[in-house]
Amino acid sequence: MVTIKDIAELSGYSIGTVSRVINNHPDVSQKARDKIDQVIREQNFHPNSNARGLKQVLNTSISIIVRGFHNMFFEGLLEQVQADLRENGEEAEVTFLDENADEVQAALEILRVRKPKGFIFLGGNLEYFRAEYPGIDVPSVLLTNTTEELKLPGLSSFTTDDERAAGEVIRYLVRMGHRKIGIIGGSQSRTGSQVGYRRLMGCEKAFQESGIPFDLKKQYEPSLFSMQGGYDAARKLLDKAPDITAIFAIGDTIAIGAMRAIRDQGLCIPEDISIIGYDGIEESRFMIPRLATIRQDTEALAMRAVEDLLFRLNYRHPVRHEYVPFELVEGESVSIMDESPEI
């Protein structure tokens, strides 16, 4: 194996100077830089990352933590994030966690063992961030939730405005003539720490403003962000509220499971029951019928996350908390109710 020592000998400079060239330190003569660069290329030398890490304490990679293996939305988002990172010459390593896992705990463990220089979280529970984030001393970004209120140093966040987008969904369904609307997805707990709660809040607000009654107990069913979760939740919902004409699944993955459940009840989409999802995953465009949904802008989310993180890695810069635009995609899964029953 060729080491920095070999490069030093071959170039006629000391290992100190070689190291400075490798790390782009300014105080090196152009002559030395050229010569050393040439030898490095000739020898196809690559610094040993363990040795670097030993001194620099920090590793050179960025750790991406995905919370929820079954949530297909994260797959597309992850792809974007990885592409952006690669484009900027950054290495990334990915860890997948269970949807209910403590992602901050996991990050702390990763920080200890692998010492990434930064984290990007895909999904997160604010409670965990509140409680344990202070232990994380590298710049980080949370995607699909906002930590603005938590005021944690070093943690930026970018997300769709879930409350507003969910409100749009309800208003859209109401415009299409639906009055009995069921909602599935998200966790039972109403602690405000999960995206599910924000989306549900948006719905409730929209119902109120529209003057349409909404009975949470009867018209809502929690669900994991998985197809099977959506399937089970939809069945329960249809059981307890057979009079609903539309379902809002707060994740497309959930919606796909729900569609199958509706079909297994012998009902047709959208003739008998309408459904709309949330996320705008690629699959939604291929469903039969095409799934109506809220398209989150994964490109923008990924780009902001990567830009913000890399920027803060190199410069002292305040964290940011921003919303990214979304779009309601109509698809084919929502029908117009001719008779608006009880209005």
Rounded Cα–Cα distance for residues 297 and 328 (Å): 11
Token code pair at residue 246? 């539309």
Whichever of 224 and 256 has its CB closer to its own copies, that residue is 256
Whichever of 14 and 95 has its CB closer to its own copies, that residue is 95
Residue 233 CB-half CA count within 13 A: 31
b/e per residue, 83-121, with b = 16+ CB within 10 A?
A: ebbeeeebebeebbbebebbbbebbeebbeeebbbbbbb
Measured N-to-C along each axis, helices 72-87 and 298-314 cross at an angle, to the nearest 10 degrees, of: 40
Rounded Cα–Cα distance for residues 203 and 209 (Å): 10
Which of 11, 17, 19, 82 is close enough to bind its own copies by CB under 8 A? 82
Whichever of 58 and 267 has its CB closer to DNA, that residue is 58
Whichever of 55 and 217 has its CB closer to DNA, that residue is 55
Decide if residue 5 touches its own copies (CB under 8 A). no
Which of 23, 29, 49, 340 is close enough to bind its own copies by CB under 8 A? 49
CB of 227 to its own copies, least distance (A): 5
Phi, psi at 192, each rounded to 5°: 80, 10
Q: What, of DNA, its own copies, none, does residue 276 touch, CB below 5 to 8 Å by kind?
A: none
Decide if residue 79 touches its own copies (CB under 8 A). yes
Decide if residue 279 touches its own copies (CB under 8 A). no
CB of 47 to DNA, least distance (A): 4
Q: What, of its own copies, DNA, none, does residue 15 touch, CB below 5 to 8 Å by kind?
A: DNA
Handedness of CA 254, 72, 186, 330 (dihedral sign): negative
Token code pair at residue 90? 């950054």
Which of 3, 6, 96, 161 is close enough to bind its own copies by CB under 8 A? 96
Token code pair at residue 58? 């920090």
Whichever of 113 and 343 has its CB closer to DNA, that residue is 113
Whichever of 300 and 313 has its CB closer to DNA, that residue is 313
Decide if residue 114 touches its own copies (CB under 8 A). yes
Rounded Cα–Cα distance for residues 95 and 248 (Å): 30
Rounded Cα–Cα distance for residues 73 and 48 (Å): 36
**Residues 234-242: contacts with CB under 8 Å, at least 24 apart:** 234/184, 234/258, 234/261, 234/262, 235/261, 235/264, 235/265, 237/182, 237/184, 238/182, 238/262, 238/265, 238/267, 238/273, 241/180, 241/182
| Cβ contact 320:308 at 8 Å | yes
Decide if residue 323 touches its own copies (CB under 8 A). no
Which residues of this chain interact with DNA, rule CB under 7 A? 1, 3-5, 12-17, 19-20, 22-23, 26-32, 45, 47-48, 51-52, 54-56
Decide if residue 41 touches its own copies (CB under 8 A). no
Rounded Cα–Cα distance for residues 122 and 132 (Å): 17
# binding residues, its own copies (CB under 8 A): 35
Q: What, of its own copies, DNA, none, does residue 27 touch, CB below 5 to 8 Å by kind?
A: DNA
Site stretch for its own copies (CB under 8 A), options 28-36, 49-57, 168-176, 206-214 = 49-57
Element (H, E) at 93: strand 91-97
Q: What, of DNA, its own copies, none, does residue 5 touch, CB below 5 to 8 Å by kind?
A: DNA
Whichever of 262 and 309 has its CB closer to its own copies, that residue is 262
Which of 35, 40, 75, 232 is close enough to bind its own copies by CB under 8 A? 75
Q: What, of DNA, its own copies, none, does residue 257 touch, CB below 5 to 8 Å by kind?
A: its own copies
Rounded Cα–Cα distance for residues 131 and 133 (Å): 6
Rounded Cα–Cα distance for residues 182 and 174 (Å): 12
Give the interface with its own copies as residue ranges (CB under 8 A).
46, 48-51, 53-54, 59, 69, 75, 79, 82, 91, 93-94, 96, 112-115, 227-228, 231, 256-257, 259-260, 263, 282-283, 285-288, 290
